[in-house]
Chain A
Amino acid sequence: QVQLQESGPGLVKPSGTLSLTCAVSGDSITNTDWCSWVRQPPGKGLEWIGELSHSGGTNYNPSLKSRVTMSLDRSKQQFSLMLSSVTAGDTAIYYCARNLDDWGQGTLVTVSS
């Protein structure tokens, strides 16, 4: 059974960079076509952030594209998200997903000074 686990700081200062990692266990990450990140502001709906292919290709939400970077570390079985120049509007639960089928439990990131 595939499991995904997000990790990273729960508090980020405004104008700083949000950095999260998703660890994949139970299957080789090379068997993943697309590694995705999705976020959900408290009490609101889901927002697709972007996706990263096993070969390194990326697709990002156009509204976030200028601030997003995703990367893959096959040796560590993990993939990462970086979101720069954050504001309070980036406060959300961040989820990682594998092929949009398997999801992590999510991690709350708060942007505040």
Chain B
Amino acid sequence: QTVVTQEPSLTVSPGGTVTLTCGSSTGAVTSTYDAHWFQQKPGQAPRALISGTSNKHSWTPARFSGSLLGGKAALTLSGAQPEDEADYYCLLSYGGSWVFGGGTKVTVL
């Protein structure tokens, strides 16, 4: 069974930078995994932030960016705002099947 791994929790200071990563039990994550990133706040549905590793949606704040880093997919938040406090999930493609990571709880403190 394929496992996608994320940091359980991270803390960032207001205005600071934090990088979330998304690894695969199958090996290095590449562009073929078509990484997606989602933000979810309490009581709300997930909101898409990034698709295709690094493509932002029209509604994605400029402070969020996606990349590949050290064999993992990464989401970098530069200039964290209090409203960025949320759970973040990555999603990887495995040739017709998708697997979510366990999520990272980001605290802005």
Closest CB in chain B relative to A66 CB, distance in Å: 15
Binary CB contact string for chain B from 42 to 85 against chain A (1 if under 8 A, 0 otherwise):
00011110010000010000000000000000000000000000
User: Whole-angstrom distance between the alpha carbons of A51 and B89 in the complex?
Assistant: 18
Closest CB in chain A relative to B59 CB, distance in Å: 10
**Cβ B45 vs Cβ A46 within 8 A:** no
Q: Select B97's contact among A59, A95, A104, A106, beta carbons within 8 Å.
A: A59
**Cβ B100 vs Cβ A59 within 8 A:** no
Binary CB contact string for chain A from 35 to 46 against chain B (1 if under 8 A, 0 otherwise):
000100000011
Q: Which residues of A contact B103 (CB under 8 A)?
A: 45-46
Instruction: Tell yes or no: B27 within 8 A of A by CB.
Output: no
Q: Is the interface of B mostly helix, strand, loop or mixed?
A: strand
Instruction: Tell yes or no: B106 within 8 A of A by CB.
Output: no
**Cβ A101 vs Cβ B89 within 8 A:** no
Given the contacts A104-B45, A105-B45, A106-B45, A47 and B100 also touching, CB distance less than 8 Å = yes
Given the contacts A100-B36, A103-B46, A106-B45, A59 and B99 also touching, CB distance less than 8 Å = no
**Cβ B97 vs Cβ A61 within 8 A:** yes
Q: Which residues of chain B have a CB within 8 Å of any CB of chain A?
A: 1, 36, 38, 40, 45-48, 51, 57, 89, 91, 96-103
Top 8 closest A-B pairs, CB basis? Answer: A48-B98, A46-B100, A59-B96, A103-B45, A45-B103, A101-B48, A45-B102, A106-B45
